[in-house]
A = this chain, B = another copy of it.
């Protein structure tokens, strides 16, 4: 998917919601566990209940890997289901990969060729040659970790160098030489509040993937106030707040209601950019 298609989807749906498919076998409703493919069954129900309210789905690979072979089967089946039934969805593999060049190339092949995923989250620590193998695919995206939503973001990401530049700003600045805003986005945690202002000084036009609204405590209003651009420029993720809205047989309905609430707030915010 290219940038214009994403923007069009956001306008049409009045939503920039990404539903995080962090599907934990230990947290899904009991009645699904009797079936042959509980993780896929859960995802399918969540997707069918929310697809008109969101523009993206983001499976976090940890939740699939921890199930081994069965987990990978569930992931592949989920991606295929979205592709075939909701082709306007932007699919993000939240993998936080990054390795030496020939190895990153293998990961890129896996996500972009074999699974036809739109975007992969990548960690910047190993620098340019660990990221660029992901950037060689047309209309496929790298979402580079910049300033994350967790407490540990303070340990290294805010380190200020001798020129007064913080590490996350250096990541934003340097990585712009690797690709433009047509194939690069950045992860910025919703919990980072006013840091969005500083980030927009460095990357005024890039899309930001924003986790941390909901369970992690970030505020959608604040994110929009400091981070929204004329093209929206935001994909805001909610995982636990939506997919685990209920643990009963009504989990899909509850997820829909939770997604509707967020979508309504997003529509309000989108009015501001017309």
Contacts and interface: CB of A to CB of B under 8 A. Distances in A.
Contacts of A124: 125, 155-156
Nearest to A97: B96
Nearest to A175: B155
A22 interface: yes
B148 A126 contact: yes
Contacts of A130: 150, 152
B69 A69 contact: yes
B157 A160 contact: no
A125 B170 CA distance: 13
Contacts of A78: none
Contact of A152 (B73, B76, B110, B128): B128
A69 B73 contact: yes
Nearest to A60: B103
A153 interface: yes
A226 interface: no
A166 B17 CA distance: 38
A101 interface: yes
9 contacts: A62-B99, A66-B110, A68-B114, A100-B148, A100-B149, A125-B156, A127-B154, A128-B155, A159-B170
